[in-house]
Structure 1
Amino acid sequence: MTSLRAFPSPVNLGVVLSAAGGEEWSVRRTSWESMADFLRQRLPLEEFEAWFAPLQPESTPGGGLTLRAPSQLYADYIRDHHGLLLAELAQAFPTTPVRIVVAKGAEGAQPLPFRPAERSPLNPRYTFASFIAGPSNQFARAAALSVAENPGQAYNPLFIYGGSGLGKTHLLHAVGNHIVAARPGTRVRYVATESFVNELINSIRLQRMPAFRETYRSVDVLLLDDVHIVAGKERTQEEFFHTFNALHEAGQQIVLTSDTPPAAIQGLEERLRSRFVWGLVADIQPPDLETKCAIIREKAHSEGVDLTDDVVLFIARRVRENVRELEGYLNRVLVFLSLTASPPNLETVRAALTPILPEERTVTPQEIVRFVAHHYGLKVSDLKGRDNRRSVAFPRQVAMYLIREVLGLSYPEIGKLFGKHHSTVIYSIDTITESRRSNPSLDATLTTFAEHFR
């Protein structure tokens, strides 16, 4: 066989590159599977899948192993980028000499036409009109709408982050749907980052990178969901870095979503992290009780079902944070009502949800007041008294907020508990709601308090 350049590696490497001869040998997979496991443990998954997975193993006379590469490109890349790793491989498997060869006739093979992996199209149900806004998400919604109305001008990129099931994907689709409706002919591309990674791997393997780059760098709007998935994937980050630059320099709009803010994405290259904050970073927090109730009413109404306030509150209070969980509970209720022809009252809804709900803990308003008073070093009588010093008024507002959030009591009911007019209760709860948005420490404290009672 005609030898290619040897790896710049230690003596007795036992790995060479050569052009394939005509002999055929039986496949010896046991050795290759062990070696593949060795390589997987030392390479990012995408790197292994792109460059080593396509190699075809064949045993050679004398116990050696030949790995046939699809093209010269693969052989050159492995030699140039993984010479030291192959030296380690040779030392780990000293009795199995390995060589990587270029499959005969591979250079003349014509690649198939580039066909991107199937992506989910824009969901027509996910619009700004169907997105229920509240204090927890109104900033992100307003930013997304501004981008949709002025793509490439308002905020570029727009980076939306928040926990799973809070509406990030909904807003991403809403941006796309709005632009397509307002600007026919605009090239909008929505893709989940996992699909982007898979397309990249396949394009590298099949030598279709020019077509891949053309696909992603010729759009007017790129909507990339769950961008945190690129973390730790060196080649993906490299490719996305250049794609980002090409689009941004051309004034094309980029919208990204993530579970965490850019600063908290572990394994993300700094050059990408800095670019993610060039435009605007907007967060989506778990919905408060009012927003959860509004979502339930709207979705039930869209299905032709009107629920009473006690039913809406019952469902809303059972959902901790996730809107997707809320929708799941509501869907179960609607199906139960349809199949049993039962009235949509509290008894029926309770029967529908009891099998899947966690055991309910009985919490009283008095228990919440005692808890808050103890936390702030006060007496219950202080919170229910007339002392309006901030050291007392603020904990009182916190207690009112928690009672509303955890138990769903009405404003008059809370006012009666504290001896206050309901307008005072409304003001107190609004004050805490606004403070929570701008004060991460308070937000974390209130989240901990609420979890204590659930």
Structure 2
Amino acid sequence: MSKTAESVWNNCLAFIEDNISSQAYKTWFEPIKAVKLTDNALSIQVPSKFFYEWLEEHYVKILKVALTKELGATAKLVYIIRMENTYGNKQPFTEKIPSANRSNLQSQEVDVPLKNKSPELKNPFVIPGIRNVKIESQLNPNYNFESFLEGESNRLARSAGLAVANKPGGTSFNPLLIFGGVGLGKTHLGHAIGVDIKDKYPEKTVLYISAEKFTQQYIESVKKNNRNDFIHFYQIIDVLIVDDIQLLSGKAGTQDVFFHIFNHLHQNGKQVILTSDKAPVDMIDIEQRLLSRFKWGLSAELNHPDYDTRVAIIKNKLYRDGVEMPEDIVEFLANNIKTNIRELEGAIISLIAHSSFNKKEITIDLARKIVDNYVKHTKREVSIDYIQKVVSDYFQMDVDTLQSKTRKRHIVQARQLAMFFAKKFTKASLASIGSQIGQRDHATVLHACKTVDNLSSTDKQFRKYVEDLSKKLTL
């Protein structure tokens, strides 16, 4: 019975499947198609150049054994690289596909002897010309669970992070979306999960990347017409941590490619961890199909640390830096810097630096001077209650009237202004703003913000309201 390309390849696959992990087989061998068998050379079709390079780098030995068993010592393997060309690249490829099947596809035939050629891997984190197959995690080891102190404000997110680190891809927290305001520890927690996974599962490929850098890499891949290589690179990651995912807002191409990467990782039991400065429901200009996937797992919010947590953060920072500080100064700092952890740590560093450089003891007067200096240059965060009071006083009404169900025009406008400034000056979610300003939903807040923007550009008197209130709230 004469051998066909399909029969030879199916026999090879049966052997390969018995000798590698089911996950590796599913990722790297199921997508391959047998094309032809000519003069003891088997041609197989792979979806991208990156795919071919990965096979050569990691599976050339088993391919050689499998094919030699079927075709003997003179066996040869030919890769046909066939990939979508959606960006109009006019560079000619060696066409090896019958014209009836071409459509918008291109192919390139690579005749590869069965020995490891060690081709250069298309890793977007590697500087061109420098060979480095290993995928570095891009993690900061200083951002770990030990230095991420638990408190009421972060207990859910931290506990979920620990669960994911213990069993990446194996919990219902996939994806894990950590959201909250600036300086509350989102990036720290993302790194901590990755660092813990690397410690527990050194064989797993963990990668941290900012959404901004991911976008830059994607744009570069489009320019160089290796979009498929870019996708396949990210599809081999076991744990993908993307920081500031909200920065994909409005970037349709990047959202599309991330959608395909996310689907592949999720379907294959890989772990995805995302951070954002807002909850999924408040993300604007993110495709609905992506938002729905962000909600598949757990969304955990980081809130402002309470007093006890702030004290613990200060003491932990001092301990790590080997510095002693009187208890009354610790309490003073915790009482006076409430906005976020980054500012708190910045003030501690400034205090230690002043004490060290000027060879002075850390006193309450020095602490007061540093805090006054530091907080003075920091945008103070105002509360939603304060905003409602300022707006109500400005329009000479009480807060209850502002929050009431009445549809009187001047009250509605005052309420809309309160919502607008709450979104502008606080880190609260739209749902939280609506709840605090008269039990409205997030859609009402979104409508209010758009109305204020529109009226500001068309109504001179209304623009004066916005300017006056803005000054009062930033004094």
Question: TM exceeds 0.5?
Answer: yes
Displacement of 1:308: 2.1
Q: Secondary structure at the match of 1:321?
A: coil
Q: Secondary structure at the match of 1:335?
A: helix
Match of 2:158 among 93, 118, 141: 141
Q: What is the CA–CA distance in structure 2 between the aligned matches of 1:74 and 1:249, rounded to whole Å?
A: 25
Alignment of 1:252 with 2:264, yes or no, is no
Q: Report matched runs for 1:274-313 at 5 Å.
A: 274-313=292-331
**What is residue 220 of structure 1 aligned with on the other side?**
238
Q: 1:442 to 1:240 in 2, by over 3 A?
A: closer
Q: What is the CA–CA distance in structure 1 between the aligned matches of 2:181 and 2:205, rounded to whole Å?
A: 29
Q: What is the CA–CA distance in structure 1 between the aligned matches of 2:346 and 2:287, rounded to whole Å?
A: 37
Q: What is the CA–CA distance in structure 2 between the aligned matches of 1:288 and 1:126, rounded to whole Å?
A: 21
**What is residue 283 of structure 2 aligned with on the other side?**
265
- Indicate the RMSD between aligned Cα atoms, in angstroms: 3.5
Q: What is the CA–CA distance in structure 1 between the aligned matches of 2:434 and 2:329, rounded to whole Å?
A: 30
Alignment of 1:200 with 2:208, yes or no, is no
Question: TM-score w.r.t. structure 2 length?
Answer: 0.53
Match of 1:116 among 114, 118, 124: 124
Alignment of 1:76 with 2:88, yes or no, is yes
Q: 1:149 to 1:283 in 2, by over 3 A?
A: same
Displacement of 1:309: 2.4
Question: TM-score w.r.t. structure 1 length?
Answer: 0.55
Does the aligned pair in 2 maintain the 1:117–1:195 contact within 8 Å? no
Q: What is the CA–CA distance in structure 2 between the aligned matches of 1:350 and 1:273, rounded to whole Å?
A: 45
Q: What is the CA–CA distance in structure 2 between the aligned matches of 1:273 and 1:178, rounded to whole Å?
A: 27
Does the aligned pair in 1 maintain the 2:145–2:192 contact within 8 Å? yes
Displacement of 1:74: 8.4
- Deviation per residue, 1:92-136 (Å, 9 max, x gap): xxxxxxxxxxxxxxx9xxxx9734146882111111111011111
**What is residue 126 of structure 1 aligned with on the other side?**
143
Displacement of 1:76: 3.3
Q: What is the CA–CA distance in structure 2 between the aligned matches of 1:293 and 1:117, rounded to whole Å?
A: 39
- Which structure would you say has the larger RCO, counting Cα contacts within 8 Å and 6 or more residues apart? 1
Q: Report matched runs for 1:9-28 at 5 Å.
A: none
**What is residue 152 of structure 1 aligned with on the other side?**
169
Does the aligned pair in 1 maintain the 2:204–2:238 contact within 8 Å? yes
Q: Secondary structure at the match of 2:301?
A: strand
Match of 1:168 among 186, 197, 217: 186
- Deviation per residue, 1:406-443 (Å, 9 max, x gap): xxxxxxxxxxxxxxxxxxxxxxxxxxxxxx9xx95799
Match of 2:367 among 346, 349, 361: 349
**What is residue 9 of structure 1 aligned with on the other side?**
none
Q: Report matched runs for 1:385-424 at 5 Å.
A: none
Displacement of 1:352: 3.6
Question: Which letter does structure 1 place at the counterpart of 2:181?
Answer: G
Question: Which letter does structure 2 place at the counterpart of 1:345?
Answer: T
Question: Which letter does structure 1 place at the counterpart of 2:318?
Answer: A
Displacement of 1:294: 1.1
Q: 1:203 to 1:126 in 2, by over 3 A?
A: same
**What is residue 65 of structure 1 aligned with on the other side?**
none
Q: What is the CA–CA distance in structure 2 between the aligned matches of 1:314 and 1:323, rounded to whole Å?
A: 15
Q: What is the CA–CA distance in structure 1 between the aligned matches of 2:357 and 2:272, rounded to whole Å?
A: 45
Match of 1:240 among 251, 258, 268: 258
Does the aligned pair in 2 maintain the 1:332–1:353 contact within 8 Å? no
Does the aligned pair in 2 maintain the 1:121–1:190 contact within 8 Å? yes
Displacement of 1:359: 9.6
Question: Which letter does structure 2 place at the counterpart of 1:299?
Answer: K
Q: What is the CA–CA distance in structure 2 between the aligned matches of 1:253 and 1:274, rounded to whole Å?
A: 17
Question: Which letter does structure 2 place at the counterpart of 1:137?
Answer: N
Does the aligned pair in 2 maintain the 1:114–1:208 contact within 8 Å? no
How many residues are paired up?
278
Q: Secondary structure at the match of 1:160?
A: strand
Q: 1:270 to 1:214 in 2, by over 3 A?
A: same
Displacement of 1:210: 2.4
Specify every segment of 5 or more residues in structure 2 that has no aligned partner in the other structure, as ranges.
1-84, 91-107, 109-119, 127-135, 379-385, 390-397, 401-427, 438-471
Q: What is the CA–CA distance in structure 2 between the aligned matches of 1:356 and 1:245, rounded to whole Å?
A: 45
Q: What is the CA–CA distance in structure 2 between the aligned matches of 1:129 and 1:295, rounded to whole Å?
A: 11
Does the aligned pair in 1 maintain the 2:122–2:233 contact within 8 Å? no
Displacement of 1:355: 3.1
Displacement of 1:221: 0.5
